[in-house]
Amino acid sequence: MTLSAHAGTPPQPYHTADSPARDRLGLLVVVLMGLVILGALANLLFGAVTLSPGRVWLALIGASGPAAGDPVAQDIIWNLRLPRLLLGALIGVHFAIAGSLLQAVMRNPLADSGVMGINAGASLAAVLAFAAAERLAGDGNPYLRAALSLDWLPLIACGGGLAAAAAVYRLSWNRGSTPVRLVLCGIAVAGLLSALTTGVLAGWAQATTETVLAWLSGSLYGRDWEHLAALLPWTAVSLILLPPLVRGGNLLQLGDDVAATRGLGVERSRFALLLVAVLFAASAVGIAGPVGFVGLIVAHVARLLVGPSLGRQLIVSPLCGALLVLASDLIGRVVLVPAELPIGVVTSLLGVPFFLALLARRP
């Protein structure tokens, strides 16, 4: 991969806006976009059934016209692979932005939505909702089951993620908060919440255990346009909230004192950034389940590629996130054909060695 050469160079601190850095960023974005498009194409071509490029092309353009003549390819492309790959890319963007924001706010390269307990809180809320809906629905009452529609899941998950993040933040607060306490409390809360999730699942939910289990492992299986539509409003809202916060995030990376002398409301800024990070991560958990380690890997790679400026990281990391999720989904779909490995399992298998290597490198 061409990117590894860049990854080897040490991050250059504090580029001003003059030309060489600009050029490199532009080139990088073009390269990453090319890779994302390649990944998307590969996701269209490969899977349980391999389609020829010609069939994919005809299915893509022919779907609008009635004379396409290849219903199988059209069905696979338009109903299965296209919505799935778009949703996968969107999920990657969500986790990537959340990871970059959290690492900036925590001043800790090991922070991400999994470590901070956000994924676990969102999962518990969603599993409780599943279990409650199942209880309420009972036997043969389809109306109540329908009450837990997809549209509610990002909201429910956001509630859980926010509660978990608030708990971690509050618990680590003791005349100020330190990164060590934040990370340890995050791990503690995540451990407690996942024990509760397993407990709820084993104790209450029965009929849907397998569905929920697949969801809990972080999966894009069976995701279609509805899921994409349910997630998009959350993407839009979070993206609108993001730009005014970037300056604060940049300053926070320099330390609370420095940020305060530059006129930043430190606690307010940190809180707002955390809130937006939770919105991004938890809404994605609501739709695809807790996909681990994406934010961690991507934020780290983005920092290696473009240096410490949060604004520049936020341009690169969504692209890297989309690329990582597309690649992981493709791996999960083709390695064990016809069975399918959930994307969360693939990202964990990729992310854990990365995380361990990061740990081992630190003094």
Partner 1 sequence: MSTAPLPSPSTGLAPGPSRPSLALGCTLLGVAIAATGALALSVGGVPLSPHELLEVLAGRVDGMAAVLVMELRLPRFVAGLLVGASLGLAGQLMQTVTRNPLASPGITGVVAGASMAVVMAQVGWRVDATWLPAIGMLGGAGAAALTFLLAARSGFSPLMLALAGMAVTALASALVTAFLLFSGAQAQQLYGWLAGGLQGRGWAHVGQILPWAAGGLVLSLATGRWLNLMHLEDSVARSLGGAVTLLRLGFVTLAVALTAASVAVAGPVGFIGLIAPHLVRLVAGVDQRQALPLVALTGALLVTLSDLLARTLAAPQELPLGLFTALIGGPLFIALIRSRTP
Min. distance of Cβ 222 from partner 1 in angstroms?
A: 14
Name which of 289 and 307 has its Cβ closer to partner 1: 289
Q: Render the burial of 237-248: b for 16+ CB within 10 Å, e for the rest.
A: ebeeebeebbeb
| C-beta pairs of 35-43 under 8 Å, 24+ apart in sequence | 35/319, 35/323, 36/89, 36/319, 36/322, 36/323, 36/326, 39/322, 39/323, 39/326, 39/327, 39/330, 40/85, 40/89, 40/326, 42/326, 42/330, 43/81, 43/84, 43/85, 43/88, 43/326, 43/329, 43/330
Count CB atoms within 10 A of the CB of residue 183. 18
Q: What are phi and psi of 337, to 5 degrees?
A: -45, 135
Name which of 190 and 231 has its Cβ closer to partner 1: 190
Within 176-224, residue ranges assigned H as helices are 179-203, 209-216
Name which of 113 and 348 has its Cβ closer to partner 1: 348
Min. distance of Cβ 305 from partner 1 in angstroms?
A: 23
Min. distance of Cβ 60 from partner 1 in angstroms?
A: 31
Place of tokens 């009972």: 138
Min. distance of Cβ 143 from partner 1 in angstroms?
A: 25
CA–CA distance, 30 with 8 (Å, rounded to integer):
20
3-state DSSP call for residue 169?
helix
Alpha-carbon distances of 325 from 81, 104, 128, 240, rounded to whole Å: 14, 22, 27, 23
Min. distance of Cβ 120 from partner 1 in angstroms?
A: 11
Name which of 307 and 342 has its Cβ closer to partner 1: 342
Name which of 57 and 204 has its Cβ closer to partner 1: 204
Min. distance of Cβ 291 from partner 1 in angstroms?
A: 11
Name which of 33 and 356 has its Cβ closer to partner 1: 356
Instruction: Give contact residues for partner 1 (rule: CB under 8 A).
Output: 110, 114-115, 171-172, 174, 178, 180-181, 183-185, 187-192, 195-196, 198-203, 209-210, 213-214, 216-217, 292-293, 339, 341-342, 344-345, 348-349, 351-352, 355-356, 359-360, 362-363
Min. distance of Cβ 350 from partner 1 in angstroms?
A: 10
Name which of 48 and 180 has its Cβ closer to partner 1: 180
User: Which is nearest to 38 in space by CA: 27, 30, 48, 49?
Assistant: 30
